[in-house]
Structure formats: C-alpha cells, structure tokens
Amino acid sequence: MDDRNTSQDESMKRDNPSASSVTAKPLLHWAFSGNLKLQLMLLLVIVLIVAARVVPLEMQKRIINDAIALQNLRGLFLYCAIYILAITVASGLKLSINYLQTVIGERAMTAMRKSLYNHILTLPLNFFRTTQPGTVVSSLMTELSTAGSFAGMAFAVPVSNILTLLAFTGYLVWLNTKLALATLIIYPIVVLVIPVLQKKTNKANKKRVDLARATSSQIAESITGIHEVQAHGAYSQEGGKFARLAERLQKIRIRWSLFRFGIKTANNYFVGLGPFVVFVYGGYLIMHGQLELGAMVAFLSAQEKLYDPWKELIEFYQIYQDASISYRRTMSSFDAEPEFSPDVVDTPAPRLTGRLEVQDLVYDTPEGLRLLNGISFSLAAGEHLAVVGFSGGGKSTLFQCLGKMFNYSSGSIRLDGMELSTLSKRTAIEGIGYISQNPFIFTGTIEDNLLYAQKALGRPKPAGSGEETKADLDRMILVLQQVGLFVDVMRFGLDSQIATDDQPVIDKIIRIRLRFHENFGERLADYVEFYRRDTYHVNSSVAENILFGTSNRPDFDYHLLPDNSSFRSFLQSVGLLEPLLALSVELARQAVDLLTGVDKVDIFFKNSPVPADRLEHCERILNRLKKQPLSSLPSGQQSFLLSLALNFTPAIHTMTRLPAGLEKKILAARLAFPKWAESIAADLFTFYSDTSYIHGQSILNNIFFGRIRPALPHAQEVMNQAIMHLLVEEDFLEKVAAIGMASQVGNMGDRLSGGQRQKLAIARVLMKSPKIILMDEATSALDNKSQARIQRLMTTRWRGSRTVIAAVHRLDIIEGFDKVAVMKAGKLVEFGTYHELLERKGSLHELIYGRKK
C-alpha cells in the first residue's frame, strides 16, 4: 500500500471513530446511555413497591389470627385498611414502573435506530450492492424493536423481581423455616431444566431471524422490480420464491414456538408443585401444632406471589435471549467501516479552482476484480473532458473515484495539487458535483430537491422575506431556466390552487385576468373557451354549465350532486331530470356497445364519461331497463346514471353528442340556479364573474376565466407566452415560480417524467456551484432539444469557469469538448483533442466511423 493509502488510513482513524463503535456496543449500553436518571428513579420506585407487596401478606395473617380469631373488630378494620392502602399504592407504583420502562425503551430504541441509520448512510457503496433495501428497513424498524423493548426492562424487571423474590423468601423463612425450605427446593430443579429448553429455543430463533430477513429482502426485491415482474408476467415465478421462503419460515416458527411454550409449560408445572408441598407438609405442621392457620394462609399467599417474580424472570430471560440474537444479527449485518470520514472538519475548506491531475489510478473491488487500471490524465481549471467508450469500460467507476464515492486502491487524484484522499469529505462535496445517469429524486417538493445539496452542506435557503430570500429565489429561477425546467415549474405553479384567504394574491390574479382579456382575449379566442353567462361551454361538464360557479360547502361539490336530493329536486323543477337521465342511458348504451372487450387502459375510454371499471355496472343497469322503467331503478343506480350525464363534457367525450334542445334547457337552468341556491342557504355557491376569483380552480383557469380547448397544436405554448408576459409585467412571476417549486414530486419523484428528474438533478448540483462537475451520461433521458440546451450551457457558461468531465453517449457532440478520453476495459486507451485523436485513426476513429459503417 502506498503513502497515499497510509495517510488516508491515519486520517480515517483520527477524524472518524471506528464504524464498529456503533455496531460493537453491547445491548445493555442502550439501556443506560442517556437514561441514568430514569433508572435511578426506577430503583427508588422498585424498593417502594417491594415493601408495598409484602405488607398485604402480613395483614392476611393478622386479620385471621389477631382480628377474626380474637373477635377484634377494631383490629379487623385497621388491618383491612392497611391492606387496601398497600395494594392501592402497589398498583400506582406498578403503573409508574411501566411508564418509566416504556420511556426508557422508546428512547433506547430511537437512539439505536438513529445511530445505526447514520452509520449505514456512511458505509461504502459496494456494501449496498449486496444488501437489499428490505434488509435495512427490516433491521431498523422490526428487528431493533425487540432490542428496544428489552432495553426498557433491562434494569427494572430483574431488579424488581429479584428484590421481590428475596423479600417473599425472607418472609416465608420468617413464617416457618422448615416449610419454606421444603417449597424452595423446587427451584434448583427449574434452574437445571429451563436453560436446556432455552438453548434449543435460541437455536430455532436464530434461524427464524435469518429467514424473516431473507423473506423481507425477497419482498422488497419483487416490489422494487414490479415493473419488470409485470412486463414479463413473472407472477408465478416471484410468487414461488416468496412461497418457498414463507413455508420454511412457517416450519421454523412452529419449532421455535414449541420450545417457547415448552419453557412456559415446564415453569407452570413447577409452579403448581408449590401449593402441593404446602398442603401436604403445612397441613402436617398445623395438625401437630407447629404452625398457625393464619400463618399458613399467609404462607400460601406469599408462595403464590413468590412464583410471579420467578415467572417474570423466566420470561425476561427469554426476551433477553430473543433480543440479544436479534440485536447481534442486526449489528453484525452492518459491522463495516465507512471509506471516508463523514464528519465536518472545523478548519475552513480550501477553495478549489478545478485543476485536476490523475496519475496511475487503480481501483480493485473487494472481490479482487480490477475495474480501473493505471488511469492517467490532467485537466487545467475550466477545461471540459468527454469520456467515451463501450459499456463496462470503467467510466462510471472513474467518476465515482473522482467524486470520492469509491476509495481508489492506488495511484493519485490531485485537486489543485492536493491529494483527494487527504481532503475532507465536505471539501470534496463542496468542490465536486456529481450527476448520475439515473438520478434519485427524494420525496418532497421541487424546492426540497433543488436545495438538497445546499442543505447537506449547511447552506439552507435563508428564512424570511428580505433581500437575501429574494436573491436566493432569483438564483433558483436562474438555475431552473438554465437547465430547461423553469417552464415545467411555472406550469406546476399555474396548475395549483391558492388559499382562499390570500386576498392580495387573489386581487393580483384578478388584475392579471382583466389585462389578459384586454390584451389577448380576441387574439387567443381560438385557443381558450372563455366563460360567458349566456353561452354553453363545451369544454365544461353539464354540471359545471348548470352551476356556473363553485360550491362553498363540501356537500354540494360536483361529484356529490347526483346523490343530493335537493339538487335533484331542482333539476325536476326546471324540467332537466328526465332529459339528463335519458342522456345517461344513451351514454351507458354507447359505452357498452363500443367499449366492451376493449382494454381498460385504452385511450378510447377517455372519450367516454363511463369509467372503465363501471362498464359492467352499466351493462347490468341496461339489462334491467329492458324489463322495467327507469323510475323503478334503485336510488343508487339512478344516482350513478345521473352522474354520467352531469360529468358529460362534449369537447372531451366525443363518442356521444349533446341532444338537440338540451343546451337551451341547461342555459335556462343556469339562470334559475342562483335563486334556488339562495333559497337553500346564503352564499352556498360563488358564481363566475369577471371580477371574482374562482375557488377550487387553478391559477391558470382563473387568469383565463375559461378552459383551454383540447387537441389544438401549440395551444399550451401560445398560452404560456401570453401568461409569462403578463406575470412579468405584474411582478407575479416569482410568486408563481415559488408556488410551482412547492409542488410535490411524489414518491421518489414518480410525478415527474424521466427528463424532468434529470433536469432537476442537474439543477440540484448547479445550486451549490461546484468547480468540478462530473456528468455520468447525465443527459441520456433528455430529448434532443433539452440536450442541446445543456450543451449550450456547458459551452457558454461553464467553459473556463468550471471543469467538466462528462461520460458521453452521443459521439456527434464531443467535438465541442476541450479533450476526449477513450476508455476500454478499465484502461485509458486514448487521450487528447478531438481532432488529434481522429488523425491518429485509433479507438475514437473506430468508434465514430465504425458505427457509421
């Protein structure tokens, strides 16, 4: 090992405690670490409860011998009062013990989870190639819960039960030494039998834990790869894998449970022997005058209670064994050391310029496979390098070594003359930005992901509304524009709804609406169907046309109207109920005739108001209508039919036309509806008006005061240009952008397209302004237009200011790079300018012209 690795090892030992400091901690450490005061409180409560448990035994004896036998009424009341007071105090103290145990257990489990999770995050990337996510989840959330529960009882249960055992034993000896010794002789037998059964239980439990973990990993793997499972129809294959593991787990759990129950059965048997000895030998002693009756009653009670702490100790021993096995299995699974110190170094990080020198770089996997073999090249600050080559040539491995994600085996990587291995992880992260081919987007908002790298470096977005916040928002907008994501973010913002009490924003939107209609209304009439009170809107549903407004009460929302008896009465009063039900029947008949047998995800269902999963329901209703009139249908089926007509939107549901004359009836109903709504309740609806905000609809629809006409090419683009113009003029663009950046990206970014995720990943790196940018085929999911945008960004803004190393899959763009590197089988076979390498007619020439042939 060279000096570089030696210095790195020393740096790791100095800056980062051994990773095993977390995984090597004994289970009992978590019970007392940070919980010492609570444990001392527990000890005090335990001493009090032991005393409170002995008092009722003595009172039993005195009640029989001193009160009942001597006809002492006053003594009877006194002893009974002391008895009830003692058991009341003992109950309260028991509740206190349980509460303290729970607090200690939960705190210990949380500390275990946090410490282990923080440790797992720092483990080498190679570790996660062989460790399934399901294993990590199961270990943290399931396996450690047993250890946490044990930590809560680790002190209280043994101490309280041992003290109780000693107190009751002493009391028995005090009552009658001979009888006490006769009953206590059972315990040595128990001590011999129970450990034998426990050993077999532990062995079965180890297998149970391993199989449970393997089963969890199998579930996680199948669910993670669910797209492949469904794409290949591998249902039985994956189901078979799970079934085999589940059956093995079933057998071992039965065996494990059998031994556990065996321990309890053996213990209960020995518990039952105690009273037998007391009855036989105690009865003999009473007959010979060597024991009082009250003493025997107290003896029986004490001996019965004597087995309670004994049983709890046996159960505690079982829990300890289960928890220890689970804890050791969990910790041993993650008993590995991080390759780099994750700690933040107090000394100021050196500011990098981007000069890079790589000399004889070698990387070997832990299995001994050499992925990089003697890589050497250098780049001046601000130069751009394109790395090309066949798949498996080592490009990604090189990038991960340069980004300090892999600890290279030998050789040297120097940033501004400083060895990468001697730089802290923070310095490397600040100076180097890494963008992968398949970037990961975290659940949260666009802004959360955009500022993810900054927050990790302790540079969160400034709070408040001052100049710093505006400057930070301006920077985010600039970065989003550079990567081509700003239009998407603005669309997210415009498609959002705002709070009903945000009056300043509402006023501004109304102002923008009026200017939009004034400046663009006539020009964009072909693209937008504007709301007009005397016009039927084919881009809105029948219900929306009738109401011409939005409900202010949840029970009058559009989707609930078919079940609303008041609304149905209104339709009846204006002569619309029967025509709408007739339209519903026609819509159902058209859907059954045209869509039966069509795949449920087929695009044809978009042209029908009948959902794919309700087609069979329609067919049943139509069959029923062949035998009986529509009025005889159950109310639920009538409501369903009415919902089809109310949801019918002519511009979208083109499979059926609106019957002649129905438009006029609907417009007449629209005029009558406000008066009817007022008779039900004041302010039940807010009706559309040029000067009022439409709650429940998007910002975009409020600005348009209408709906975009579908199926018009470039309609969205034309609308965006007009809207952007007004947003800038009204100083509202930043607000909409902020609303858009607050949009949720879904679970791991599933609401974003592949291109949007890649743009967001690039923007995330740009937000921290690194001097070196590593792009591992970071534009592969982008369309040609978006790729050209990123290429222009690299050429116009990054050249000279940021060193860029990019793995490139499109060879037609590498001419714009300062240098080109060709990799093959882990080696750098060519390095130089594009034209130099072509003149050599070597590997690059073969890649380009060989492909053309």
What is the predicted pLDDT for the residue at 822? 93
Q: Is the pLDDT of residue 573 over 80?
A: yes
State the residue for tokens 């709408």.
580
Helix orientation angle between 467-483 and 486-494, rounded to the nearest 10 degrees = 120
- Rounded to an integer, the average pLDDT of 626-654 is 89
pLDDT, position 87: 86
Question: Which range (319-323, 373-377, 552-556, 604-608) has the least confidence?
Answer: 604-608
Q: Is the pLDDT of residue 670 over 90?
A: yes
Mean pLDDT value of segment 396-416? 89
Over the stretch 184-225, which tens digit does the pLDDT of each residue have? 666 666 667 777 777 788 788 878 878 887 888 788 778 877
Task: Pinpoint the alpha helices (H) of 288-424.
Answer: 293-333, 395-402
The tens digit of pLDDT for each residue in 767-810 reads: 888 899 999 888 877 888 888 888 888 888 888 889 999 998 88
pLDDT > 70: what percent of the chain?
88
Please give the pLDDT value at position 13.
41
Task: Please give the residue that has the higher pLDDT: either 224 or 743.
Answer: 743
CA distance 842 to 821: 12
Per-residue confidence band for 9, with pLDDT thresholds at 50, 70 and 90: very low
Span(s) in the chain for CATH 3.40.50.300: 356-439+770-849
How far lies 214's CA from each of 239, 240, 248, 250, in Å? 14, 14, 11, 13
User: Is residue 51 very low, low, confident or very high in pLDDT (cuts 50, 70, 90)?
Assistant: confident
547 confidence band (pLDDT: 50, 70, 90) = very high
Q: Please compute the mean of the pLDDT values over residues 227-253 and round it to a whole number.
A: 81
User: Which letter does DSSP use for residue 780 in this model?
Assistant: T
Three-state SS for 751?
coil
Tell me what pLDDT residue 191 has: 67
Beta-bridge partner residues of 379: 356
The pair of three-digit structure tokens given for residue 206, joined into one six-digit string: 């180890």
Confidence of residue 345 (pLDDT cuts 50, 70, 90): very low
Whole-number pLDDT of residue 218:
83
- pLDDT, average across residues 756-762: 91
pLDDT grade for 633, boundaries at 50, 70 and 90: confident
Are 676 and 500 spatial neighbours (Cβ–Cβ below 8 Å)?
no
Q: How many CB atoms lie within 10 A of CB 796?
A: 9
The strand pairing partners of 363, in sequence order, are 372
Q: Residue 306: is its pLDDT beyond 70?
A: no
- Scored b (16 or more CB within 10 A) or e, 139-158 reads bbeebbbbbbbbbbbbbbbb
Q: Give the pLDDT band (50/70/90) at residue 76.
A: confident
| pLDDT per position as a tens digit, 113-151 | 888 888 888 888 878 877 778 778 878 888 888 888 888
Beta bridge partners of 773: 433, 804
Extract the tokens encoding 299: 């003896």
- Residue 492 exposure: Cα atoms within 13 Å on the Cβ side: 20
Q: Residue 788: which residues within 8 A CB-CB, separation 6 or more? A: none
Q: What is the mean pLDDT of the segment spanning 76-86?
A: 88
> Has residue 255 got a pLDDT over 50?
yes
pLDDT digits (tens, 9 = 90+) for 461-506: 544 445 556 668 888 999 999 998 998 999 899 888 887 777 888 8
Q: Coil, helix or strand for 549? A: strand
Q: What percent of the chain has a predicted confidence (pLDDT) above 90?
A: 18
Confidence of residue 851 (pLDDT cuts 50, 70, 90): low
**Average pLDDT in the 697-716 region?**
77
634 CB-contact burial (10 Å; exposed 0-12 / middle 13-18 / buried 19+) = exposed
Indicate the pLDDT class of residue 715, thresholds 50, 70 and 90: low
Phi, psi for residue 711 in degrees, rounded to 5: 60, 25
Read off the tokens for 58.
């003595």
Q: How far is CA 553 from CA 556, 674, 737, in A?
A: 6, 15, 30
CA 724 to chain centre: 35
18-29, pLDDT tens digit by residue? 444 788 888 888
- Is residue 483 within 8 A of residue 763, CB to CB? The reply is yes
Structure-model confidence comparison of residues 618 and 12, the more confident one: 618
Bridge partners, residue 820, by sequence: 386, 832
User: Confidence class of residue 387 from pLDDT cuts 50, 70 and 90?
Assistant: very high
d(CA 547, CA 672): 10
Between 772 and 307, residue with greater pLDDT: 772
Token duo for residue 357: 């020198």
Confidence of residue 452 (pLDDT cuts 50, 70, 90): confident
Picking from 580, 579, 599, 591, the residue whose alpha carbon sits closest to that of residue 655 is 591
Strands (E) located in 463-508: none
What is the residue-wise DSSP string for 372-409? Answer: EEEEEEEE-TT-EEEEEE-TTSSHHHHHHHHTTSS--S
Tell me the angle at which helices 503-520 and 715-729 cross, rounded to the nearest 10 degrees: 120
Q: Which SS3 state, helix, strand or coil, does residue 783 take?
A: coil
Check whether 667 has a pLDDT greater than 90: yes
Q: Which of 273-287, 288-302, 507-521 has the highest mean pLDDT?
A: 507-521
Tell me the mean pLDDT in the region 53-71: 79
Judged by average pLDDT, the poorest of 341-345, 478-482, 604-608, 739-743 is 341-345
> Is 80 exceeded by the pLDDT of residue 604?
no
Structure confidence by residue, pLDDT tens digits, 256-294: 888 878 877 776 676 666 666 666 666 777 777 776 666
The answer to whether residue 735 scores a pLDDT higher than 80 is yes
CA distance linking residue 319 with residue 303, whole number of Å: 25
Do 150 and 112 form a contact (C-beta atoms < 8 A)? no
Q: Is the pLDDT of residue 155 over 50?
A: yes
**357 contact partners, CB below 8 Å, separation of at least 6:** 378, 379, 412, 413, 414, 417
CA distance 359 to 376: 4
Pairing of strands 549-551, 528-530: unpaired
Is residue 742 classed exposed, middle or buried when 0-12, 13-18 and 19+ CB atoms within 10 A define those classes? middle
State the architecture of 19-333 in CATH terms: Up-down Bundle (1.20)
Nearest to 292 by CA among 369, 179, 181: 179
Residue type, 357: E
Q: Which parts of 421-505 are beta strand (E)? A: 432-435
pLDDT (tens digit, 9 = 90+) per residue, 527-539?
A: 888 888 899 999 9
Sequence-distant (6+) residues with CB within 8 A of 836 are none
Reference 338, options 119, 146, 503; nearest CA is 119
- Beta strand 819-824 with 827-832: parallel, antiparallel or unpaired? antiparallel
Range 287-311 average pLDDT: 69
What does the pLDDT read at residue 272?
A: 65
Listed in order, the ranges of the chain carrying CATH 1.20.1560.10 are 19-333
Give the pLDDT confidence score for residue 281 in this predicted structure: 67
Residue 8 has pLDDT above 50, yes or no: no
Q: What is the pLDDT of residue 828?
A: 92
Domain 356-439+770-849 grouped into CATH 3.40.50.300: yes
Give the separation between CA 321 and CA 324, rounded to whole angstroms: 5
Distance CA 404, CA 415 (A): 12
Q: In whole numbers, what is the pLDDT of the chain averaged over residues? A: 82
Run of H or E including 356: strand 356-364
Closest by CA position to 43, among listed 114, 101, 4, 3:
101
DSSP classification of residue 744:
B
* Chain-centre distance for alpha carbon 496: 24
Quickly state the pLDDT bin for 714 (edges 50, 70, 90). Answer: low
Indicate the helix (H) or strand (E) that contains 478.
helix 467-483
pLDDT band at 648 (very low <50, low <70, confident <90, very high): very high
What pLDDT is recorded for position 668? 93
**Per-residue confidence (pLDDT) for residue 542, from 0 to 100:** 93
pLDDT at 712: 63
**Closest Cα to residue 216, out of 138, 141, 142?**
138
pLDDT at 346: 44
Total Cβ atoms within 10 A of residue 411 = 20
Give the pLDDT band of residue 669 (cuts 50, 70, 90): very high
Give 274-277's long-range contacts (Cβ < 8 A, gap of 24+). Answer: 274/183, 274/186, 274/303, 274/304, 274/306, 274/307, 275/300, 275/303, 275/304, 277/182, 277/183, 277/186
Which one, of 106, 209, 88, lies nearest residue 153 by Cα?
A: 106
Average pLDDT over residues 329-343: 77
